[in-house]
C-alpha cells in the first residue's frame, strides 16, 4: 500500500501563524493525509499538534531595515533557507505546500514553486501581510479569513477563496460554551490579554482604570489578566490595594476556556484574537497595536467593531479614564453585552478548517 499524500504546512513561529496551521493539520489528518510543519526555530517551543519529529526547521530572516547591509543579510538568509527547503522538498515529495504567513514561509514556498509543487497561502488579516504579498502572485491559490481582502486586484481575487480562520480544537470546544449574561448584582468576569507585544500597555492602563471604578462595581470584578514578569509586582500591588479578586500570569495555557468564561475581553486585535472572539462570541474592547506599516490590527478590530461586537480604541485614546468609562457603561447595560456577544458570534466561522481543507485537496489534486 502506498503512503498517504503529504501536505507540508509552512508557518512563522508565533501562535497567530501556528494555530491555524495546527487546526488545518487536525482536519487533514482526520481525512487520512500526512502533515508536517516547516517553520523557524521559535516553533520548537510549540507544544500543540506537531511533535518534534513532525517539524522541519528552515532558516529565514525578517526584513529588519532598509540599509544595504540589512537587505543583503535578509537576502542571504532567505537564499540559504530556500536551498535547504529545495532539498527538503525533494526528500519529502509533498503533494502541496500551504503557507500561513510570516517570513519563515518564504523559503519553503519559493522552493515549492521552483519544483512545481502546488502551493496555497492563507492570510488571516483584514490587510494581507508582507510575506504573503510577496508570495501572492507566485502561488496556485489564496485563502483569506475575511471577504474583500483582495477585491482591488482582479488577478489575485480570481484565485482567492474566503475560508475563515481555521480554529484549533480548544477554540471549537470553547465555542460550544454559551455566553453567560451579566447579572446586575453578579460578578463581571473581565479578561485582559495583550500577547507578546501588548501586555505592557495593559499593565500601564488597566490598573489605573480599575482604580477609577465605583467601589460597588469593583467588588463585583472577577479579573484575569496577562501580565509580563517585569510588570507583575507593580500590577499586583494595585490590585492588592483595591482588593480585587484576580488571577495574573504571563501566559495562560488554557486561554480558550478563559475566553469562554469571560463576559468582557480587553485585548490587542491580532488576526487570531479577532477570529477567536468571533468564533466563541464574546464582547470586547480592542486596542490595535500602533505603528504597524499596514495597520492590520486596526483593520482587524474594525471587522468586529463595525458589526457591533466590539469597541475599538486606538492606543492614543486608550487611557485609564476612557477604559474606566467604557467598563462602567457596559456593566450598567447587561443587554448590550449580550447583544455584542451575539453579534460577535456571527463574524466567526467554525467550519473554516474544513473549508480550507477542501481547498487544499483541490489544489493538491487529491
Binding residues for UDP-N-acetyl-alpha-D-glucosamine: 14-16, 125, 168, 196, 297
248-280: buried (b, 16+ CB within 10 Å) or exposed (e) per residue? Answer: beeebeebbbbbbbbbbbbbbbbbbbbbbbbbb
- Dihedral sign from CA coordinates of 193, 197, 201, 203: positive
Distance of alpha carbon 41 from alpha carbon 15, whole angstroms: 13
User: What DSSP element (H or E) covers 18?
Assistant: helix 15-30
What is the torsion angle, in degrees rounded to the nearest 10, for the CA atoms of residue 201, residue 274, residue 133 and residue 121?
Answer: 140
In this structure, what DSSP letter does residue 182 have? P
Distance of alpha carbon 249 from alpha carbon 244, whole angstroms: 15
Binding residues: 14-16, 125, 168, 196, 297
Q: Could you tell me which of 224, 210, 186, 203 has the C-alpha nearest to residue 328?
A: 210
Distance of alpha carbon 107 from alpha carbon 80, whole angstroms: 8
Q: Hey, is 304 helix, strand or coil? A: helix
Residue 217 and residue 188 in contact, taking contact as beta carbons nearer than 8 Å: yes
Distance of alpha carbon 195 from alpha carbon 181, whole angstroms: 27
Reading the block at residue 75, the C-alpha cell is 537576502
Which spans in 63-115 are helix H? 68-92, 106-114
Residue 126 and residue 165 in contact, taking contact as beta carbons nearer than 8 Å: no
Helix, strand, coil fractions of the chain, as percent rounded to 5: 50, 15, 35
Contacts 24+ apart (CB under 8 A), 301-304: 301/269, 301/274, 302/126, 303/126, 303/146, 303/274, 303/278, 303/347, 304/269, 304/274, 304/277, 304/278, 304/344, 304/347
Distance of alpha carbon 330 from alpha carbon 112, whole angstroms: 50
Amino acid at each position: 500500500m502506498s503512503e498517504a499524500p503529504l501536505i507540508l504546512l509552512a508557518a512563522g513561529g508565533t501562535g497567530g501563524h501556528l494555530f491555524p496551521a495546527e487546526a488545518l493539520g487536525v482536519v487533514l489528518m482526520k481525512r487520512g493525509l500526512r502533515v508536517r510543519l516547516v517553520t523557524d526555530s521559535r516553533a520548537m517551543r510549540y507544544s500543540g499538534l506537531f511533535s518534534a519529529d513532525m517539524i522541519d526547521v528552515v532558516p529565514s530572516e525578517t526584513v529588519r531595515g532598509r540599509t544595504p547591509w540589512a537587505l543583503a543579510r535578509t537576502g542571504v538568509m532567505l537564499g540559504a533557507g530556500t536551498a535547504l527547503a529545495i532539498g527538503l522538498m525533494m526528500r519529502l515529495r509533498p503533494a502541496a505546500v500551504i503557507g500561513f504567513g510570516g517570513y519563515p514561509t518564504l523559503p519553503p514556498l519559493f522552493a515549492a514553486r521552483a519544483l512545481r509543487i502546488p502551493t496555497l497561502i492563507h492570510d488571516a488579516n483584514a490587510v494581507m501581510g508582507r510575506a504573503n504579498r510577496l508570495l501572492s502572485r507566485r502561488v496556485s491559490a489564496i485563502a483569506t479569513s475575511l471577504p474583500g481582502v483582495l477585491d482591488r486586484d482582479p488577478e489575485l481575487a480570481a484565485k482567492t477563496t474566503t475560508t475563515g480562520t481555521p480554529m484549533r480544537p480548544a477554540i471549537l470546544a470553547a465555542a460550544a460554551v454559551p455566553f453567560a449574561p451579566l447579572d446586575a448584582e453578579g460578578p463581571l468576569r473581565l479578561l485582559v490579554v495583550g500577547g507578546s507585544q501588548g501586555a505592557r500597555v495593559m499593565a500601564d492602563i488597566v490598573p489605573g482604570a480599575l482604580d477609577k471604578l465605583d467601589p460597588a462595581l469593583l467588588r463585583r470584578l472577577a479579573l484575569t489578566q496577562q501580565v509580563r514578569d517585569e510588570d507583575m509586582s507593580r500590577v499586583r500591588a494595585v490590585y492588592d490595594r483595591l482588593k480585587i479578586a484576580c488571577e495574573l500570569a504571563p501566559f495562560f495555557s488554557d486561554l480558550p476556556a478563559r475566553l469562554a468564561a469571560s463576559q468582557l475581553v480587553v485585548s490587542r486585535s491580532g488576526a487570531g484574537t479577532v477570529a477567536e472572539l468571533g468564533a466563541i462570541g464574546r464582547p470586547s474592547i480592542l486596542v490595535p497595536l500602533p505603528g504597524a506599516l499596514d495597520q492590520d490590527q486596526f483593520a482587524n478590530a474594525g471587522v468586529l467593531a463595525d458589526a457591533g461586537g466590539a469597541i475599538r480604541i486606538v492606543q492614543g485614546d486608550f487611557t485609564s479614564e476612557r477604559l474606566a468609562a467604557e467598563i462602567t457603561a457596559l456593566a450598567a447595560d447587561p443587554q448590550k453585552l449580550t447583544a455584542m456577544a451575539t453579534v460577535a458570534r456571527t463574524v466567526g466561522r467554525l467550519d473554516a478548517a474544513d473549508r480550507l481543507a477542501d481547498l487544499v485537496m483541490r489544489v493538491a489534486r487529491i
